[in-house]
């Protein structure tokens, strides 16, 4: 408990944010080793200051001539995840912002800039997807064998949309926890990539889910390339083990991934 508390408290610094992100990724079987880029971190700090000086909770844009405008801050605004939720000291502030969380969990992410002040958070990611994978792979969140997965989720405040908005599960509605499918390797940018099967089952049988992927929802490519989302329509049961299965195909590769997780 003391180690966990120390980790969360340290996450208010840029170094602590990166540490907390690495811990979260590794705990779910996603490659860690994310590094902190000092120049991008300074850009994030400038962008957060711009938001504060102009009384803006969060924004991706900076307007030249406004108080606090800087070129590196403007770049961090465009290329970063921005949030106005809570400090990393209380956990990942992007946890219920699926498009933004996916950006932080993508396997190819290698370096970030990070800064927070109060509830304002900036994590610059767009130039940090430099990790290479020789072969195709599927990573997931929650990862294989994860325990204490939350039973429900309410996504709200994500702009320009949340994945559920595209499949009749709008923001503000309580669903089961969003399940993330994260792709690595050559097939990530293959236009033929197709999730031909995606299902979730509990001890009493199949669970109703909706799949949000780039093939059927091209809009997704603009905001979260390399990720897809499986959303249980209703909250899951507590203290229950669930089994998820996905089949992913391209013109040259087919993979099936089956894994289990247990709810809190």
CA angle 41, 141, 159 (to 5 degrees): 55
Q: Give the Cβ contact number of residue 76 at 10 Å.
A: 30
Tell me the three state secondary structure of residue 21. Answer: helix
Burial of 181: CB neighbours in 10 Å, binned 0-12, 13-18, 19+ = buried
**pTM (predicted TM-score):** 0.93
**pLDDT at residue 18, rounded to an integer:** 97
Domains (ranges, CATH) in the chain?
A: 2-124 (3.40.33.10), 137-263 (2.60.40.3780)
Averaged over successive runs of 10 residues, the pLDDT of the chain (264 residues) comes to 42 89 98 98 98 97 98 97 94 96 98 96 97 97 98 95 97 98 95 96 98 94 91 98 98 97 98
Give the single-character DSSP code of 191.
Answer: T
| pLDDT score at 8 | 43
**Contact predicate 164/201, CB 8 Å:** no
Q: Please, which residues bridge with residue 210 across strands?
A: 231
pLDDT of residue 6: 43
- The predicted structure's pLDDT at residue 221: 86
pLDDT of residue 175: 98
């Amino acid at each position: 408990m003391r180690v966990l508390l120390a980790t969360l408290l340290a996450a208010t610094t840029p170094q602590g944010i990166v540490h907390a992100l690495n811990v979260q990724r590794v705990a779910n079987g996603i490659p860690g080793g994310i590094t902190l880029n000092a120049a991008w971190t300074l850009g994030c700090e400038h962008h957060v200051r711009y938001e504060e000086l102009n009384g803006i909770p969060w924004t991706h844009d900076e307007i030249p001539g406004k108080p606090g405008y800087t070129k590196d801050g403007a770049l961090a605004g465009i290329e970063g995840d921005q949030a106005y939720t809570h400090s990393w000291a209380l956990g990942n502030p992007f946890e219920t912002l699926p498009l933004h969380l996916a950006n932080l969990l993508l396997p190819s992410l290698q370096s970030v800039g990070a800064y927070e002040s109060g509830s304002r958070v900036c994590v610059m990611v767009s130039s940090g997807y430099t990790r290479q994978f020789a072969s195709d792979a599927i990573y997931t969140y929650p990862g294989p064998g994860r325990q204490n997965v939350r039973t429900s989720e309410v996504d709200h405040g994500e702009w320009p949309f949340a994945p559920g908005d595209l499949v009749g599960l709008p923001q503000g509605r309580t669903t089961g926890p969003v399940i993330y499918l994260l792709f690595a390797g050559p097939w990530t940018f293959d236009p033929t990539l197709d999730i031909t099967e995606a299902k979730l089952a509990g001890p009493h049988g199949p669970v109703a889910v909706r799949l949000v992927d780039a093939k059927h929802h091209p809009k997704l490519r603009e905001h979260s390339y390399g990720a897809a989302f499986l959303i249980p329509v209703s909250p899951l049961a507590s203290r229950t083990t669930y089994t998820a299965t996905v089949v992913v195909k391209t013109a040259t590769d087919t993979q099936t991934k089956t894994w289990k997780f247990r709810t809190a």
